[in-house]
């Protein structure tokens, strides 16, 4: 049984943790996997409930946090090398930037047979200044030369990494889309919808709009609040909006809502009479999707946002910015209305049109479930990842065998 050391930055709610935990659970018993994680930040919601639900264990390396720290990073690197020596993996598979750097360096130093890395997103625009961005690009180019296969999760992401940033030649990249458990977004929707809307006092004729994710600058929640202000000022429909998630920009977003004249409540309040609710983190995403009427995303940069896949599985229409891999996971004009990141009025009007037009909401929600079920089910992910692992292992064995034969001939 081949062994996989899977290295993830942290057990925090989001797409990378779903990908890593599902692969750990569902590739067994074909592959024996040890999951290694770093520390999550204080504002991030723990995803330990996922490991408990899936019945998988994990090993924590405290120093492997998101921010760069030479002392902590070197300590994490040494711990990873010790794990590799003890576990003796056939494959080291890293997920996201920090684990991708430390894990690949450690695996390369110890001659692990196969090294794989998954880009769940990238930081090559909209995150840092040009000097820092170029440092990360050059670092990834260096690491790519020590990697047997690089996985991207969308066509657009692959094009950017190959053509725009020249991280590695195209033949080193493999497109393997996320695989998720989508059935829970299709079953029991009516009951889940009643429960969610009852909790927050959402009337049957009220349009519920939501955005789900970390409250950090790259997610651009300012656009959501400004769009909500536009909708409230230009519709006769009753509207209630939900910001689901938490993070460093929350207090600033609350101030912006106040500036725009939007009254809001918080998750700790006993009642929610206002048009905006900050729910903080929630685990019942399937109930949230059932309760919403429109799902939005406003990011400056994205890989493959899980919330939009889940929204389509729940037959909810989408309003989003047109960034990263979003164009690869929705059907523009059929399941989602998209706008360019620098075109705020277009986003406002897309959201307003969905609020005002019941038929449009129904039409955009209708096609989503069938589309994502076939494209993003976790069974497909397991099949494709297993195939890639075996292909890489066979290639490595073949190369080793050829090398041994050349040595034997030279000795004759």
Question: What is the β-pairing status of strands 264-266 and 336-339?
Answer: unpaired
Distances, alpha carbon 5 to alpha carbons 156, 160, 168, 388, in Å: 28, 28, 23, 15
Cα separation of 344 and 321, whole Å?
Answer: 9
Residue 69's pLDDT is what?
77
Q: Domain end: 129, 151, 176, which one?
A: 176
Q: Is 95 helix (H, G, I), strand (E, B) or coil?
A: strand
Confidence tier at 402 by pLDDT (50, 70, 90): low
Confidence tier at 401 by pLDDT (50, 70, 90): low
Question: Has residue 321 been placed in a domain?
Answer: yes
Q: Which domain range does residue 97 map to?
A: 3-176
Say how many C-beta atoms besides its own lie within 10 A of residue 322's C-beta: 18
Cα separation of 366 and 148, whole Å?
Answer: 41
Question: Has residue 396 been placed in a domain?
Answer: no
Statement to judge: residues 76 and 220 lie in one domain: no
Question: Has residue 292 been placed in a domain?
Answer: yes
Beta-bridge mates of residue 10: 38
Beta-bridge mates of residue 118: 95, 151
Q: Is 165 exposed, middle or buried (0-12, 13-18, 19+ CB in 10 A)?
A: middle
Statement to judge: residues 99 and 35 lie in one domain: yes
Statement to judge: residues 117 and 78 lie in one domain: yes
What does the pLDDT look like over 336-381, one tens digit per residue? 999 999 999 999 999 999 999 999 999 999 989 989 988 898 999 9
Question: Has residue 379 been placed in a domain?
Answer: no
Average pLDDT over residues 175-190: 92
Cα separation of 19 and 176, whole Å?
Answer: 11
User: What's 141's domain CATH number?
Assistant: 3.40.50.2000
Confidence tier at 411 by pLDDT (50, 70, 90): very low
Lowest average pLDDT, out of 13-22, 309-318, 362-371, goes to: 13-22
| pLDDT score of 398 more than 80 | yes
Beta-bridge mates of residue 119: 152
For residue 278, the surrounding DSSP H or E stretch is strand 276-280
Question: Has residue 399 been placed in a domain?
Answer: no
Statement to judge: residues 81 and 224 lie in one domain: no
Question: Has residue 316 been placed in a domain?
Answer: yes
Beta-bridge mates of residue 320: 297, 338
| pLDDT score of 125 more than 60 | no
Statement to judge: residues 190 and 147 lie in one domain: no
What letters, b where the CB count within 10 A reaches 16 and e where it falls short, cover 176-204?
Answer: bbbbbbbebbeeebeebbeebbeebebee
Q: What percent of the chain has pLDDT over 90?
A: 74
Average pLDDT over residues 160-175: 93
What are the structure tokens assigned to 346, written together?
């277009």
| pLDDT score of 181 more than 50 | yes
Contact present, 223 and 298 (Cβ < 8 Å): yes
Cα separation of 308 and 295, whole Å?
Answer: 7
Pick from 357, 221, 203, 377: which is nearest to 294 by CA? 357
Statement to judge: residues 136 and 188 lie in one domain: no
Question: Has residue 254 been placed in a domain?
Answer: yes
Average pLDDT over residues 116-120: 93
Cα separation of 346 and 352, whole Å?
Answer: 10
Statement to judge: residues 144 and 229 lie in one domain: no
For all residues of the chain together, what is the average pLDDT?
A: 91
What does the pLDDT look like over 32-75, one tens digit per residue? 999 999 887 776 778 888 899 999 999 999 878 766 778 889 99
Statement to judge: residues 136 and 231 lie in one domain: no
Q: How many domains does the chain have?
A: 2
Question: Has residue 406 been placed in a domain?
Answer: no
Confidence tier at 13 by pLDDT (50, 70, 90): confident
Report if pTM > 0.85: no
Statement to judge: residues 159 and 90 lie in one domain: yes
What does the pLDDT look like over 256-296, one tens digit per residue? 999 999 999 999 999 999 999 999 999 899 999 999 999 99
Q: Domain end: 176, 203, 236, which one?
A: 176
Contacts of 13 (CB under 8 A, 6+ apart): 44, 45, 46, 47, 281
Statement to judge: residues 369 and 292 lie in one domain: yes
Statement to judge: residues 277 and 162 lie in one domain: no
Give the ranges where 33-129 is alpha helix by DSSP (H).
48-54, 70-87, 97-109
Q: Domain end: 130, 159, 176, which one?
A: 176
Statement to judge: residues 65 and 115 lie in one domain: yes
């Amino acid at each position: 049984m081949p062994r996989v050391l899977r290295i993830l930055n942290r057990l925090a709610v989001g797409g990378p943790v779903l990908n890593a935990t599902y692969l750990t659970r569902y590739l067994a018993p074909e592959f024996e996997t040890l999951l290694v994680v770093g520390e999550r930040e204080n504002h991030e919601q723990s995803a330990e409930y996922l490991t408990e639900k899936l019945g998988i264990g994990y090993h924590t390396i405290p120093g492997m946090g998101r921010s760069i720290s030479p002392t902590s990073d070197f300590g994490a690197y040494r711990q990873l090398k010790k794990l590799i020596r003890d576990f003796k993996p056939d494959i080291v598979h890293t997920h996201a930037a920090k684990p991708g750097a430390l894990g690949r360096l450690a695996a390369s130093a110890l001659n692990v047979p196969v090294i794989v890395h998954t880009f769940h997103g990238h930081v090559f625009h909209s995150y840092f200044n040009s000097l820092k961005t170029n440092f990360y690009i050059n670092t990834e180019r260096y690491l790519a030369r020590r990697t047997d296969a690089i996985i991207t999760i969308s066509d657009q992401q692959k094009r950017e990494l190959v053509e725009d940033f020249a991280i590695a030649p195209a033949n080193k990249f493999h497109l393997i889309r996320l695989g998720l458990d989508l059935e829970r977004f299709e079953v029991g929707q009516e009951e889940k919808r009643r429960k969610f809307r009852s909790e927050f006092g959402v009337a049957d004729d009220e349009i519920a709009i939501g955005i789900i994710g970390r409250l950090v600058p790259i997610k651009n929640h300012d656009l959501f609040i400004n769009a909500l202000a536009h909708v409230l000022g230009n519709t006769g429909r009753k509207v209630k909006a939900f910001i689901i998630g938490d993070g460093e920009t929350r207090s600033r977003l609350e101030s912006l809502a106040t500036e725009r004249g939007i009254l809001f409540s918080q998750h700790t309040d006993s009642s929610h009479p206002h048009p905006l609710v900050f729910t903080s983190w929630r685990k019942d995403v399937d109930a949230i999707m059932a309760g919403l009427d429109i799902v939005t995303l406003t990011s400056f940069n994205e890989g493959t946002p899980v919330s939009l896949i889940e929204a389509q599985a729940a037959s909810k229409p989408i309003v989003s910015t047109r960034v990263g891999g979003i164009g690869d996971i929705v059907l523009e004009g059929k399941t989602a209305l998209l706008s360019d990141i620098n075109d705020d009025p277009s986003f406002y009007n897309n959201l307003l049109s969905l609020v005002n037009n019941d038929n449009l909401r129904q039409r955009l929600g209708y096609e989503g479930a069938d589309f994502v079920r076939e494209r993003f089910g976790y069974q497909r992910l397991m099949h494709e990842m297993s195939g890639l692992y075996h292909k890489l292992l066979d290639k490595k064995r073949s190369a080793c065998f050829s090398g041994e034969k050349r040595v034997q001939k030279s000795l004759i």
